[in-house]
A and B are shown apart, each in its own frame.
Chain A
């Protein structure tokens, strides 16, 4: 009784925890398909793919992706090289220096990214000035500074990954190679590097991802080359649109895809190894019957399901046209707005009548007619012009290509609807 209660509470806790962890990503992905100008799930308006096309037409995002790739490549090369050198140094450094050295190379992980960005900027600015170079020299270039700033701490991550594998390396292998007449460089390239390859690959992936998503350091160093993260941050800070959700959805989908792919591959290797172990000598001599790719491989099954789902979605996207639904929603909104305006008009009319009556009571001396214009206290906000605005927008959106009609550059900030919904 007690244990089953404990078991249930563990599962409930796990469910809540993973809902907190994954829920936001799921909801964000769903908002990418809602036609509402402000990213939200409810009320659901129409299924649409317009935010994706809008995303791919956004020059700043595309440019940001390009810069991110360049900077990511530079960071991977520099930080894997430094991380490997740092790891090699750690295994052979003078024991008395070891603790100090370890503290120094591990410190960048703990130093706030903001501080790293500032110190990089300040330091290279000073070097630049000491060398007497101008403001447009190589040393004050945004790409250079960002690569340097990011590598400072990403190299520490790489070092940790690499040193874990290096500790399992048998130094006798290198010594044997040297005894057999290899040079140090040859021993390094032919013996150590192949041994380190898996760790180098994971360090490189880690470095690229860390570089791609870094914000705190890059925000001080990017100069003229804003990365994707910087562009996203600026968009998110000054008005959010579902186009960002669309980008997020793509990134989430890619991440899930590669995670499943990796997992399926690992699982398959395990299964193959297990099959080899069980196989008899004859089987090994001939053909061993390897388990098929899907047998007992959850991740592989999920991978296929995921791929099919993606193809379905893309297929629907090319065939599906949400214009009718969007038009309906607009119409409904317009009707609602009209209704509201009618009500306000009625109210105003009543108030005017009341006032007229009051003024009539007040005296016959003042014969001037009451001005019907702006004294209702609402200003012009509810004047019929607002209705015109709604109509314009509705007309624009029912056209064949609605993208870019009302969200150009400002991300829906000026959409009359978002005024009521945005924070």
Chain B
């Protein structure tokens, strides 16, 4: 038995040690690592009916990944333009949602983090309440607002800004607003945590030395809050790229989200390996993108999740 395991059992006793170790191993290996590997393995296999699984036809193939790039064999186009467009649109839209959230949340996080008083607690409750409401219901609420006879259209037409109802849903405005809305708290919270620990004297000092407010933020607050900003951005980006409910409810009829393609492969086409391959592509691309961004902005992995 290796030394650290022995020490571990000495410290926790055999029974407790086994319980802790068992639960941790079940979680990390049984729930996190093996399912992901199993999905990776599955994505390289052809779509076979159950009796043929494990048979001679069950060999590794790149078919599912080729499908995403080149489309069905003998198709009219040389690339799978539909799916690829959905894929890149999803990524770009997720980036836009993240930036949008960062811009609207930064002032709030700064205000909440740096001001004192009992009203801050009320604001915190008001921030958390929407997050406790079901994701579906939040999307539903926005759908009521953005609908053709919704509050916004009634308001704008009443003010005479539009003559005819503006179709927010077909133009994807509802979708972006919904995605931004869904993850606001995940952006504010990490930033708030970091900014709260910033010593107000640093800001005072910068102000005394004659820095204008924007330079105080640029040179003092933002560098200090970088870990919070990066974990907020990472979470919002990953979650909006992987969102399913908001696109299903708020998305226009012609515009799909990449997760909806995965959903279709699983539920409508019943092609699990294809769906698994798409899921792997989404996961790997998102992780690579986040890592690239972290390198670009010089953030450490350890800062995320703090």
> Interface segment, B64-72, B78-86, B139-147?
B139-147
A142-170 contacts to B, CB under 8 A, are 148, 151-152, 155, 160
Q: Are A113 and B244 in contact (CB under 8 A)?
A: yes
A114 touches B301 (CB 8 A): no
Knowing A114-B242, A219-B244, the reply to whether A24 touches B138 (Cβ < 8 A) is: yes
- Among the 9-residue stretches B194-202, B219-227, B259-267, the one with 4 or more Cβ atoms under 8 Å from chain A is B259-267
Distance to closest chain A CB from B121 (angstroms): 7
How many angstroms between the C-alpha atoms of A17 and B180 in the bound complex? 12
Measured CA separation A421–B129 after assembly (Å): 30
Please tell me if the beta carbons of A213 and B135 are within 8 angstroms of each other in the complex: yes
Q: How large is the interface on A (under 10, 10 to 19, 20 to 34, 35 or more residues)?
A: 35 or more
Chain A residues touching B, majority SS: helix
Q: How large is the interface on B (under 10, 10 to 19, 20 to 34, 35 or more residues)?
A: 35 or more
Shortest Cβ distance from A356 into chain B, in angstroms? 36
Chain A residues with CB under 8 A of B142: 24
**In the complex, are the beta carbons of B154 and A185 less than 8 A apart?**
no
A360 interfacial by beta-carbon distance below 8 Å: no
- Most A-side CB within 10 Å, residue of B17, B31, B143: B31
In the bound complex, CA of A213 to CA of B136 (Å): 8
- Let me know if A138 is at the binding interface, CB within 8 A: no
Chain A residues closer than 8 Å to B172, beta-carbon distance? none
Q: Are A17 and B104 neighbours in the complex by a CB distance under 8 Å?
A: yes
What is the total of A-B residue contacts with beta carbons within 8 Å?
A: 265
Interface residues of A in 52-76 (CB under 8 A from B): none
Q: Is A109 an interface residue (CB 8 A)?
A: yes
Considering the complex, give the chain B residue whose CB is closest to the CB of A296: B118
Main secondary structure of the interface of B (DSSP, over half): helix
CB pair B141–A27 under 8 Å, yes or no, is yes
Contacts of A212 in B (CB 8 A): 134
CB within 8 A of B141: which of A14, A18, A24, A151? A24
Q: Are B127 and A229 in contact (CB under 8 A)?
A: no
What's the least CB distance linking A163 to chain B, in Å? 11
Q: Is the CB of B4 within 8 A of A236?
A: no
> A233 and B279 in contact (CB under 8 A), knowing A21-B130, A113-B244, A251-B137?
no
Interface hub of A25, A81, A103, A110 (most chain B Cβ within 10 A) = A110
Which residues of the partner chain A approach B279 to less than 8 Å between Cβ atoms? 112, 114-115, 118-119
A86 contacts B24, C-beta separation under 8 Å = yes
* Cβ A112 vs Cβ B151 within 8 A: no
- Give every chain A residue within 8 A of B290 (Cβ-Cβ): 110
User: Taking CB as reference atom, which chain B residue is nearest A155?
Assistant: B27
Chain A residues packing against B (C-beta within 8 Å): 6, 10, 13-14, 17-18, 20-25, 27-28, 31, 38-42, 81-82, 85-86, 88-89, 92, 94, 99, 101-116, 118-124, 126, 129, 148, 151-152, 155, 160, 183-185, 188, 209, 212-216, 219-220, 228-229, 232-233, 236-237, 240, 244-245, 247-248, 251-252, 255-256, 259-260, 263, 298-299, 421-423
Closest 8 pairs (CB-CB, A-B): A112-B242, A184-B13, A85-B23, A24-B141, A119-B35, A123-B35, A28-B141, A119-B39
